[in-house]
Structure 1
């Protein structure tokens, strides 16, 4: 079976004479799956009036398409507005329109739904909402066919585009809108308050942002506003200096957005006999008016985590009390031990002097490199002292 039911039925009808039968309006049931606009709005009612006048003057030029529904009844596949025109003519007392020309087609529910969609989308003016619903329903139809074991060659989106008379990109855009647009803006699209281009731009934004946008502007949102690049916060992260690398790290997070700042802190802690501990606290409420205030706020956040607070205390101790060299060995230890002790003393003394110089450096551009050097020196000093 071809994946375009209208084409398939056209081939079938070409092989046998086109049979048109008259069926009473009372025996034609509307398709409950039809969500294309039939009546109600000013625009559609103007078209309905013209269609009714045409049918009254020239007769029904395009028969209805129906399928057997059992019990002498038929389910309407396409022609809902033409059926409505006949019903309105009968209501005016023109009983000659009680019976309608119809073409009967044998089909199951899935085939009938696909024929309904294919008959309406390419052949009448439909809204963006109706197009989106048609794409959604066609995807569901193809999903059913695949579940039934039918193999669909090629890409589904290309089949849908061909069946509905759309471009592949237009189908993809409608799929994106249906999937990502919030219900508030779907309602606006359905009501015709926004177009598909605006809906596409809005659907590119996070759901929460869409809700905020709708609360602020509703449907009064312009495409030119949505096309402007949204300013993103500039976030910087810096390591708190003075913390031994083998004990962990604390990272201060500062974000700037539109002249306001937010703060956060994260890091890891490695204490003896304790599993590694990670932490992160970020408050993106832009409540600070300067970077300095945000830095203070980030430092205050460290106290929220007991392990991070202990790490900060260790950093204070390390800064106030740099590693001290061991005492020079006594002469009783022997000449070899004295020589080794003096060598260690000189080495540790040199390392401590380098540590003090690094600690005294302020305002250097590469703070991270300076801190790394200090931490590395601390580690080397401890290793030398441990081996002595």
Structure 2
């Protein structure tokens, strides 16, 4: 089994077993732990081989241990009725713990846009605080790099893309969920994130009223309505009622149709991923 970067450890570090009840998820942990097909695979692996990679935790003054890396392993172990799990205890301050937690979880195979957005935001805020303490700016005087540039180099997205992800954190949850389940495009969501919270809710109401989703051109025009002071639900509905050619040819399934074949706890995004995976598998045998 491949050892991930965050699980590589100093040979002198000791692995100990700790009761699951003494473990706590990281505060404001942005990554979801889902009961999907990957979780089932992880549970099967743990059944056969046990937990090969210890969880990384840090002690807290309250007497529990906060998980830095291993939230999915902890969940899988709980489902298998484990009472203890192997861990490595590391002592680190809050800021270092946040960066370690983010970097560890960004290596997951599947990360939703909202997870990456809030992970980048947590890391960005830490880097900005560190730079601010040094020189009262967002630039680290030791490296001469802005926080978004540091994240870009360490995480693989361009600085502009990092900024787009940071902007996504300004979306209301209902619109952000549409980005995660891919019923609304990423770039479109970035444009709508410029709207006030009140206006975002108005857009959401208009989308539900018209059963439409703005394309990029419409999203830009919606943002312009706010800038010009002409924003209203009536105008948004008028925009969304425009016929888009790609919507004419789009294949749509209702969730009720799909739940006949998937567990009730699956999200729309999970069902879509499972369907695409099955189609890919089917193509390999043709």
**Common fold, TM-score beyond 0.5?**
yes
Is the 8 Å Cα contact of residues 19 and 83 (structure 2) preserved in structure 1?
yes
- Please name the residue that 1:157 is paired with: 148
Which string of whole-angstrom CA distances, capped at 9 and with x for unpartnered residues, describes residues 95-115 of structure 1?
xx4332212211012211211
Which string of whole-angstrom CA distances, capped at 9 and with x for unpartnered residues, describes residues 246-272 of structure 1?
xxxxxxxxxxxxxxxxxxxxxxxxxxx
- Please name the residue that 1:47 is paired with: 38
Which string of whole-angstrom CA distances, capped at 9 and with x for unpartnered residues, describes residues 26-67 of structure 1?
33232232131113xxxx433222211111112212211011
RMSD: 3.7
Of 44, 66, 72, 1:81 maps to: 72
> Aligned partners of 1:118, 1:215: CA distance in 2, in Å?
36
Is the 8 Å Cα contact of residues 188 and 214 (structure 2) preserved in structure 1?
yes
Counterpart check, 1:20 vs 2:5: no
Counterpart check, 1:200 vs 2:195: no
> Aligned partners of 2:167, 2:150: CA distance in 1, in Å?
17
- Please name the residue that 1:215 is paired with: 205
> Aligned partners of 1:209, 1:28: CA distance in 2, in Å?
40
**Deviation for aligned residue 1:189:** 3.7
Is the 8 Å Cα contact of residues 33 and 113 (structure 1) preserved in structure 2?
no
Decide whether aligned partners of structure 1 residues 51 and 204 sit closer, same or farther in structure 2, where only a CA change above 3 A counts: same
Is the 8 Å Cα contact of residues 192 and 219 (structure 2) preserved in structure 1?
no
Counterpart check, 1:226 vs 2:218: yes
**Deviation for aligned residue 1:134:** 1.0
Question: SS where residue 100 of structure 1 aligns?
Answer: strand
Which string of whole-angstrom CA distances, capped at 9 and with x for unpartnered residues, describes residues 352-378 of structure 1?
xxxxxxxxxxxxxxxxxxxxxxxxxxx
- Higher relative contact order structure (alpha carbons within 8 Å, sequence separation ≥ 6): 2
**Deviation for aligned residue 1:118:** 0.9
TM score, norm. by length of structure 1: 0.47
**Deviation for aligned residue 1:211:** 4.9
TM score, norm. by length of structure 2: 0.62
Is the 8 Å Cα contact of residues 202 and 226 (structure 1) preserved in structure 2?
no
Higher relative strand content: 1
> Aligned partners of 2:146, 2:132: CA distance in 1, in Å?
16
- Structure 2 unmatched ranges of 5 or more: 233-286
**Deviation for aligned residue 1:124:** 3.4
Which string of whole-angstrom CA distances, capped at 9 and with x for unpartnered residues, describes residues 65-123 of structure 1?
01122476422111111011111111xxxxxx433221221101221121111111133
Is the 8 Å Cα contact of residues 66 and 103 (structure 1) preserved in structure 2?
yes
Is the 8 Å Cα contact of residues 167 and 193 (structure 2) preserved in structure 1?
yes
